[in-house]
Structure formats: C-alpha cells, structure tokens
Amino acid sequence: MSVREDLLKLKIIPSKERGQNFLIDPAALAGIVEFSDVSESDSIVEIGAGLGALTNELKHFPDVTAIEIESRFCNELSSRFPSVKVVNANVLEVAFEEFGDQLVVFGNLPYSLSTDILFHVIGQAYCIKRAVFLLQREFAERIAARPGTREASVLTISCQLRARTTLGMIVPGSSFYPQAGVESRLVRLDFYRELPYRIEDEGWFHMLVRAAFSQRRRKMFNALLSTGLLTKDLLEKAFSAAGLDRNVRAEMLTIEEFAEFANQTLKLKS
C-alpha cells in the first residue's frame, strides 16, 4: 500500500503547518541508518515516526521506541511493528532518559518545529550518544557551519558546544510525499560526554551568545550594549580581558572565544 493510500485509509490529510512530508525514497531511508552507524547494542528513539517508513528500517534492532503525536499513526505503527515500543506523545514533553542513557535518536523533522526539537534534544544530551536528523538543507548546513565564519549562528554555537557535527547526503524534494519544495540534508550530532570547553556558567554563556547574535549586522560590542545585559564599562573591560577587537561581529568568534568572553564577564560582574 502506498503512502497516499495509507493516509486515505486513516483519513489524514498531510498538514503543511506541521510540515508533514513523508520520506518515500528507499535509498534515502537505508542511507539514514547507514549514516547513523547504529549498532545492535544501542537503544534507539525515533521522533515523529509517522507511517513508519524509517521505523521499518529500524525494526530489526532489539530496542526501538517510536514517538508520535498523532494517535491514528500510533495505532498503525503498533499494528505493523509489534516489536517496537510506540509512545503517543508530543516529543517536546518527553524525557529521553526514560528510554536509556546512551540513546541514538532519529528524526525527519518538520521545519516549523526543527529548532524547538533540536534544543530539546541538546538539553538532554547527557543521555543521548548520537542524533541523526533529516532537516531542510539550509538549516542542517547552519548547524554544521564552522564557528568563526559568516555562516555561523546561535544554532551553530549551541549545537557544536555539545556535539561534533557531520553533514550527510542531500535528499531532493521528490523523495517525499507530498513533494517538498526544498532539498533536505542529513546531519549527525555525536554528543560529547564532557564539554571540551571551559565554561563557568553555561546558562550565562547561552544568554550572551543569543544577545551577541541578536543584531547580526551590528558589531558585537554595540549589540550587547543595546541589550542592557552589561554596562559599557564592563563590556570594555571584558573585551580587553578576552583579547577581542571591539569591531568584531558575533559570527567571527569561535566557541573558545565565546567561552573566554563569557567567563571574563562573569569574573568582572562578581
């Protein structure tokens, strides 16, 4: 039975708002599993399993959990894949530690929810070994951009603080039903067990990074000053202590430089 026929049977119309484009390319589905380097000993969690195209590739592994918000899909998944644990839930309300402490997470994420889901996963990196996501190509490439270049963003810094990022294959819009209007791309995040950077206060670090990128066209000094997070005097001292040029823009800083700057501001504030 085709995806279209399955959807008709379940009386589900793919939602543009939810970004419901179902991956139907067998080569792409097999490629996702290969790219993940998943093994028999891994506990697997799939986000947004839908009709189970990727679940079908994963069902042979001994420990697989599929999270799906649509109850009609859940009933279908449970019927098709009796060995898979199906959880009817909003993934943003799920605590991943329930499923293990060295998880491999998969997901073909809708663009409208990609940022929220990604940050939810990063926030639980302590129990996740690796995540493999199929995302809109531009979004995936922003995650894997090199910090210190014009392509870098808050997303880049936040992801690469916690994980080593690797880009995978590009998937054309024709590989989906309904056909997607843009290309997608695989990205893999291998999470660090321990942070490779010295950061005194991670919450403060993220607050500064978001503030620094809040006005990309402005110099970082001026962008931060306009937020009111730090006084001009403290900013001047922190830039000097961290060895930063006052004319630098946020995208030109590496993670190490952001970490040092955040640590210096904390020291000066105390």
Give the amino acid at 133.
F
What's the CATH number where 214 sits? Answer: 1.10.8.100
In a shared domain, residues 171 and 212:
no
Of the three residues 172, 191, 210, the one that is the final residue of a domain is 191
Rounded Cα–Cα distance for residues 97 and 45 (Å):
11
* pLDDT higher than threshold 80 for residue 15: no
Q: Determine contact, residues 22/14, Cβ cutoff 8 Å.
A: yes
Buried b (16+ CB within 10 A) or exposed e, 203-235: ebbbebbebbbebeeeebbebbbeeebbeeebb
In a shared domain, residues 125 and 28:
yes
In a shared domain, residues 233 and 161:
no
Q: What are phi and psi of 68, to 5 degrees?
A: -145, 130
Encode pLDDT of 216-229 as tens digits.
889 999 999 999 99
Residue 254 included in any domain: yes
Average pLDDT over the chain reads 95
Q: Determine contact, residues 35/132, Cβ cutoff 8 Å.
A: yes
Q: What are residue 87's DSSP bridge partners? A: 67
Encode pLDDT of 148-202 as tens digits.
999 999 999 999 999 999 999 999 999 999 999 999 999 999 999 999 999 999 9
In a shared domain, residues 158 and 233:
no
In a shared domain, residues 22 and 111:
yes
* pLDDT higher than threshold 90 for residue 259: yes
What's the CATH number where 87 sits? Answer: 3.40.50.150
In a shared domain, residues 146 and 255:
no
In a shared domain, residues 234 and 171:
no
Average pLDDT rounded to a whole number, residues 42-67: 98
Q: How many domains is the chain built from?
A: 2
* pLDDT higher than threshold 70 for residue 111: yes
In a shared domain, residues 148 and 262:
no
- pTM comes to 0.93
Rounded Cα–Cα distance for residues 127 and 28 (Å):
27
CA 228 to chain centre: 29
In a shared domain, residues 36 and 95:
yes
DSSP symbols for 29-62: HHHHHHHHT--TT-EEEEE--TTSHHHHHHTTSS
229-233 CB contacts, 8 Å cutoff, 24+ apart: 230/265, 230/269
Which H/E stretch holds residue 80?
Answer: helix 71-80
In a shared domain, residues 165 and 113:
yes
In a shared domain, residues 57 and 96:
yes
Residue 65 included in any domain: yes
According to the model, what pLDDT value does residue 12 have? Answer: 83
Of the three residues 163, 191, 219, the one that is the final residue of a domain is 191
Model confidence band, residue 17 (pLDDT cutoffs 50, 70, 90): low
According to the model, what pLDDT value does residue 19 have? Answer: 72
Range of the domain at 233: 202-269
Average pLDDT rounded to a whole number, residues 230-249: 98
In a shared domain, residues 126 and 247:
no
Of the three residues 151, 172, 191, the one that is the final residue of a domain is 191
Model confidence band, residue 20 (pLDDT cutoffs 50, 70, 90): confident
